Amino acid sequence: MRPQVLVTYDEAGGYGHPDHVQAHRVAMYAAALAAAPSYRPDLGAAWDVAKIYWTAMSESLFREGMRRLREMGDTTTFEGMDPDGPLPPFAVADEFLTAEIDGDAYVEQKLAAMAAHATQISVDGPFFAMSNNLGNQVWSKEFYRLVKGRAGAAPGERPTSSQAWPDRCAQRAARSWAW
């Protein structure tokens, strides 16, 4: 396979799940090895993946969700966190989000798939509490941050991590999201 785009978790595995941390490590190492001409030449020429995205959660949406929970009287979901205080590392500043996928048409299937992972996700845990109290809007959008490549690069263009990001990051930070 010679992918143009790789999507994986960030270095913290999203919310810190050890399997997700390992998935990040493996994906990033695989991308590095694929680009090394001296690694496994029997597999063909080296391949540099043009873009790498890490999954992310919008800081502004996370804060807004927590505010709405607090306004509804829920003080136990994400207990000890203040909507205006420090957040866990999976909440990424909006200025660093470079891609968004609107999956509103598939949110029910997504929630069912997540609930099927009973050993990893508790349906009475904080993320599902946010969903149950605020509606499925919490899970309908997926966010990503570009960590290699250039946003808006044309297909086949081989951008490198040293190329400057265009002004899309600044435009993204100025965008306001509504629930």
pLDDT at 170 over 50: no
> In this predicted model, which residue has the larger pLDDT, 116 or 129?
116
Secondary structure of the chain as H, E, C letters: CCCCEEEECCCCHHHHCHHHHHHHHHHHHHHHHHCCCCCCHHHCCCCCCCEEEEEEEEHHHHHHHHHHHHHCCCCCCCCCCCCCCCCCCCEECHHHCCEEEECHHHHHHHHHHHHCCCCCCCCCCHHHHHHHHHCCHHHHEEEEEEEECCCCCCCCCCCCCCCCCCCHHHHHHHCCCCC
Encode pLDDT of 120-160 as tens digits. Answer: 666 665 555 555 555 556 677 889 999 999 877 654 555 44
Encode pLDDT of 17-45 as tens digits. Answer: 899 999 999 999 999 999 999 999 999 99
pLDDT at 82 over 70: yes
